[in-house]
């Protein structure tokens, strides 16, 4: 596993290893404000080459789940500043993932009970957990051209807030069936204007967001996550290979710090992305849809193959705050407790033991 511990330059950062902490929703931020335990939770994991935070909404209407953090108000900035200070004090590096959920939302999440928004007025066909139990995602409101321009500005404003909050950079969430991915996919984007129809039009929103954010805070501080051929949240792509080749080619001139691929049995497309992307590639490897979690062995293998420059782990980081030390020692690894993944107190959040007890 020695290749996992080789240093890596990412933008302006010098990563001491290639073991990245993947974004993981924890739903412990009432009213979008990170709580008192969040600084400890993230600082415990500061030995990561890079921490990428849980998905964080850049606007009110961008929220998709209960108690997820925001980064669009002064209270959000102040709360996140405590997190970044704690991580930096322990020698870590941290990007915030900016995640607009699009149609994966519900009126119960918004103060004005508005409909969630999307490229087209097409419901996901899935459900959301709310204070009233499981409810269907409603049919979203299709974004107007003015709405799209405002949403790009929301990402920019949130990225600037991230800098104010002390983050080393931002990751744009273009994966897993959320808003940017909804524009990319032809089953969720059925627009007839400049943002729909052809591949060139469907990648337009993703490219505009990336360009605007890099202009605002610098390309070395911006990454993007994609999930080619992933069917999460009702997504279905009919042209994944051509779509992601076009997207990567369109993004390449902007010099982003990295592309982060959430793989879903799409190894052929991962290889195409790798061939087209001139910069750093972080991979969350799942060579088949049945592979449920990344292991040190699978991570080391994709580095050996040259398929990625770094590898992101999710559940292993959740349950093992000292993951690099455990990988070096060959384990053992704590098992994550699914009952404590979302919401709650310190249990399953900051109380997983380290090797040294």
Task: Decide: helix, strand or coil at residue 56.
Answer: strand
- Dist CA 224 CA 109 (whole Å): 26
User: d(Cα 128, Cα 106) in Å, to the nearest integer?
Assistant: 8
Residue recorded with tokens 């994944």:
240
**Cis amide leading into 332 (omega within 30):** yes
> Coil, strand or helix: which one is 9?
strand
State the catalytic residue, choosing from 178, 195, 244, 349. 178
Residue 205 zone, left/alpha/beta (φ > 0; ψ -120 to 50; rest): alpha
Calculate the alpha carbon distances from 34 to 37, 71, 238, 350 in Å: 8, 10, 38, 14
CA-to-CA distance for 191 and 194, rounded, in angstroms? 8
**Strand partners of residue 262:** 284
Pick left, alpha or beta for residue 144 (phi over 0 → left; psi -120 to 50 → alpha; otherwise beta): beta
> CA-CA distance, 134 to 166, in Å (whole number)?
36
CA dist list (Å): 172 to 42, 57, 67, 181, 183: 19, 11, 20, 11, 14
244 flagged as catalytic:
no
Residues involved in catalysis: 178
């Amino acid at each position: 596993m020695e290749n996992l511990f080789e240093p890596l330059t990412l933008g302006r950062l010098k990563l001491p290893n290639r073991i990245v902490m993947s974004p993981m929703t924890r739903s412990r931020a009432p009213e979008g404000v990170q709580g008192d335990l969040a600084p400890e939770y993230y600082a415990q994991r500061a030995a990561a080459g890079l921490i990428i935070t849980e998905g964080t909404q850049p606007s009110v209407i961008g929220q998709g789940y209960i108690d997820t953090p925001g980064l669009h108000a002064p209270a959000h900035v102040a709360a996140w500043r405590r997190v970044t200070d704690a991580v930096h004090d322990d020698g870590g590096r941290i990007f915030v993932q900016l995640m607009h959920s699009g149609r994966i939302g519900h009126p119960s999440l918004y103060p004005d009970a508005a409909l969630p928004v999307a490229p087209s007025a097409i419901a996901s066909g899935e459900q959301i957990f709310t204070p009233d139990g499981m409810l269907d995602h409603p049919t979203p409101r299709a974004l107007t051209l003015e709405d799209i321009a405002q949403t790009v500005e929301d990402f920019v404003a949130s990225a600037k807030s991230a800098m104010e909050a002390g983050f080393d950079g931002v990751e744009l969430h273009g994966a897993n069936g959320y808003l940017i991915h909804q524009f990319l996919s032809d089953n969720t984007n059925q627009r007839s204007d400049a943002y729909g129809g052809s591949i060139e039009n469907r990648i337009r929103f993703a490219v505009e967001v990336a360009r605007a954010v890099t202009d605002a805070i610098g390309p070395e501080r911006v990454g993007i996550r994609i999930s080619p051929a992933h069917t999460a949240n009702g997504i279905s792509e009919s042209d994944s290979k051509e779509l992601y080749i076009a997207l990567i080619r369109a993004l390449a001139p902007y010099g982003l710090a990295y592309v982060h691929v959430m793989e879903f049995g799409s190894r052929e497309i991962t290889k195409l992305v790798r061939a087209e992307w001139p910069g750093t590639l972080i991979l969350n490897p799942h060579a088949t849809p049945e592979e449920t979690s990344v292991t040190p062995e699978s991570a080391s293998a994709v580095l050996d193959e040259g398929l990625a420059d770094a590898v992101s782990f999710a559940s292993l980081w959740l349950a093992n705050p000292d993951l690099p030390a455990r990988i070096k020692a060959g384990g053992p690894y704590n098992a994550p407790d699914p009952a404590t993944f979302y919401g709650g107190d310190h249990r399953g959040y900051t109380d997983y033991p380290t090797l040294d007890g």
